[in-house]
Amino acid sequence: MKLSIPKNYKSVLDVSQTEQAIKQIKDFFQLNLASELRLRRVTAPLFVKKGTGINDDLNGVERPVAFPMKDLDDDVAEIVHSLAKWKRMALADLEIKEGFGLYTDMNAIRPDEELTNIHSLYVDQWDWERVVSKEERNLDYLKYVVNKIYAALVRTEYHISETYLDIEPELPEEIKFIHTEELAAKYPDLTPFERETEEAKKHGAIFVIGIGGEMPNGEIHDGRAPDYDDWSTATADGCIGLNGDIILWNSVLNRAFEISSMGIRVDKDALNKQLAIRGAEDRKELLWHKMLLNDELPLTVGGGIGQSRLCMFFLKKAHIGEIQSSIWPDEMLKECKANDIHLL
């Protein structure tokens, strides 16, 4: 069990206030996100058919929850890990134009998740996707989108601090952009997570660019599937990757705190390249991959923003179980109770 207990921790809000504040955060943030990026809310699936390539396979090792469907000759359905690929199909079906997009509430079950202060079996996030032009598939455009999302974050934090006066806003006005290769050069003796923690502590909010591709030192900062984010395209500054993570400094847990994974999505050239790098070229025969290779899906930028993570950050909570109801080890439940951490 990996549980961190902050010294002298006491929740700013009681359970009743917390439940009310969770709704306020979710309502306020999603409206601001939709306004910033011109997104339409849509309804999304909880599960998809196995073998279509639509489900996100994350790092390629996590097992999806699956079940047979009686009325479909026991074909197998999988609970989604995320909607990274489904959203591009939805954009095509809805014929959404460049500069506009969609968002949805994504709920997932990840049975292989290691349970910690910030990781649960249950995942809830806003999955969003926006259509881009070929010319917009570059680092400057990615930064433009990140700044819009960050503006919605800052606005939401201020709104909550005005509603609950004991919560003080901490986010800086601007987010710092840094590449994984810069982090590796700056902190060569640290792990990727330790590098993020040092930089997040220094700046308050960072966007780490280039996650999934191999850096000049032979490292991969963190895993990424080969068929949604573009982590192999070289940028104008010579670095690799058109994707990244929004990471905040969590003053309660004293650590880097990822709240979003996002990026410019693969076009067919990047898909071919990344499938070859990962030795996964057999995926080209799957439905979703065929559609992309046949130019049936739009070029996009997209990502996910953790709902419980965001509420946890804004409400100064020590454990994600203070925001969402899930299942935890008995030992964790006992230790949290002994330290005034009320798990829902």
Give Cβ neighbours of residue 185 (< 8 Å, ≥ 6 apart): none
Verify whether residue 127 is a known catalytic residue.
Answer: no
Place of tokens 């003080």: 168
Verify whether residue 278 is a known catalytic residue.
Answer: no
Verify whether residue 129 is a known catalytic residue.
Answer: no
Verify whether residue 110 is a known catalytic residue.
Answer: yes
Catalytic, out of 110, 137, 195, 309: 110
Pairing of strands 101-109, 39-41: parallel
Catalytic, out of 125, 232, 324, 326: 125
Verify whether residue 274 is a known catalytic residue.
Answer: no
CA gyration radius for the chain? 20
**DSSP 8-state class, residue 109:** E
184, two tokens? 């590796």
Contact 168, 195 (CB under 8 A): no
Instruction: Look at residues 13, 30, 29 and name the one whose alpha carbon lies nearest to residue 21.
Output: 13
From residue 274, give the alpha-carbon distance in Å to each of 21, 125, 265, 267, 268. 42, 26, 12, 11, 10
Verify whether residue 82 is a known catalytic residue.
Answer: no
Contact 118, 321 (CB under 8 A): no
Contact 209, 139 (CB under 8 A): yes
Q: How many CA atoms lie within 13 A of 21 on its CB side?
A: 31
Catalytic, out of 30, 56, 157, 309: 56
Distance between CA atoms of 241 and 251, rounded to whole angstroms? 29
Active site residues: 56, 110, 125, 245, 258, 261
